[in-house]
Amino acid sequence: MNVVRGARPSICGLPPRDTESGPAAAAKLGFVKVNGSNAIGLEGSGKSLGLRGGVDGGSRFVRSIKAMEDPTVSFRTDCAAISGTNLRQMSTAGNSTNIVWHKCTVDKQDRERLLQQKGCVIWITGLSGSGKSTVACALSQGLHLRGKLTYILDGDNVRHGLNRDLGFNAEDRAENIRRIAEVAKLFADAGIICIASLISPYRKDRDACRALFPEGDFIEVFMDVPLNVCENRDPKGLYKLARAGKIKGFTGVDDPYEPPLKCEIVLQQTERDCVSPSNMAETVISYLEEKGYLQA
């Protein structure tokens, strides 16, 4: 029995760092806290480990860490394999020259096995007020209840931080969309189902995002809601301000919205036909199920 206890073993002559502690460090060592006591997962032992998570309204999921059941998973201890430095290939990306891609032995598939899902991005596009944020939340909730890990990148929210330097002219919108797509790509690589909800009004910007992802991993969802419905909702009073000329370049008023010509999912709503956000979320979840994204 290979029980790892105490401080991390030293790697390449570096002394063990006793500053590393907490759940992340414990997880690295194979320790996971279950109901307050330390349970130990054993590499290659064929034993699974119960983990409690996904709490909602009193219901709990008990899931097992598949990686720990997988006899092919083993720790590499040689420096080259761990650091990935045996794969040196100089490249250039944008203004960055002489850069080297660093590859790790733990990859996307390993993370997906652990999470029992496939990393991807659900890209929700549509007019302001079309219900993007609402459906993003409903979707996140629906997937969470199924024990799936999601993260929402909402245009409005990301503009409070990472994209606070950007406005709403075409160039800034393109940069806003590009950055969110790059972040979504990192989340997808982490094995997470990333939900991006932003107007993303221009087709060519959305197509550029799609090109960043492997085939199938960019799932474009169009909120097909007529402008008058969005304008009647106007929860933030922005259409009113735009019509009064107090906001310039407002999407749908004096800046264009280009609907997708071909996308994976259309969530349609008319004045008469009111579909609930949870029904819309179910449509997306069915798609994910059918395409195999809810399993590793």
**Smallest distance, ligand ADP to C-beta of residue 211, A:** 24
Contacts of 258 by beta carbon, 8 Å cutoff, 6+ apart: 201, 202, 203
Give least dist CB 250 to ligand PPS, A.
Answer: 4
* Of 176 and 269, CB closest to ligand PPS: 176
Hey, is 74 helix, strand or coil?
coil
DSSP 85: G
Could you tell me which stretch among 20-28, 101-109, 114-122, 168-176 binds ligand PPS (CB under 6 A)? 168-176
61 vs 168 by CB, closer to ligand PPS: 168
Report the partner that residue 251 touches, choosing among ligand PPS, ligand ADP, none (CB closer than 5 to 8 A by kind): ligand PPS
Task: Give the x-and-dash track for 128-167 against ligand PPS (CB under 6 A).
Answer: xx--xx---------------------xx--x--------
Positions in the binding site for ligand ADP (CB under 6 A):
126, 128-134, 233, 235, 274-277
CA–CA distance, 41 with 67 (Å, rounded to integer) = 10
Q: Which does 247 bind (CB under 5 to 8 A by kind): ligand PPS, ligand ADP, none?
A: ligand PPS
Question: Judged by CB, which is closer to ligand ADP: 68, or 196?
Answer: 196
CA distances from 2 to 10, 49, 146 (A): 17, 16, 33
CB 197 within 8 Å of CB 204: no
What whole-number distance in Å separates Cα of residue 29 and Cα of residue 27? 5
For residues 53-72, which are near ligand PPS according to CB under 6 A?
none
Choose the contact partner of 177 out of ligand ADP, ligand PPS, none; CB within 5 to 8 A by kind. ligand PPS
Q: How far apart are CA 230 and CA 274, in angstroms?
A: 13
**Residue 268: closest CA among 135, 122, 100:** 135
168 binds, among ligand ADP, ligand PPS, none (CB under 5 to 8 A by kind): ligand PPS
**What residue 233 binds from ligand ADP, ligand PPS, none (CB within 5 to 8 A, per partner kind)?**
ligand ADP
CB 218 within 8 A of CB 120: yes
Q: Does 199 bind ligand PPS (CB under 6 A)?
A: yes
Candidate segments 74-82, 90-98, 126-134, 136-144, binder of ligand PPS by CB under 6 A: 126-134
133 is catalytic: no
Query: Which sign does the torsion angle of CA 40, 43, 44, 50 carry?
Result: positive
Closest CA to 189 of 113, 112, 286: 112
Q: How far is the CB of 65 from ligand ADP (least distance, A)?
A: 35
CA 226, distance to chain mean position in Å, is: 28
Question: Parallel, antiparallel, or unpaired: how do β-strands 37-40 and 31-34 relate?
Answer: antiparallel
Task: Enumerate the active-site residues.
Answer: 200
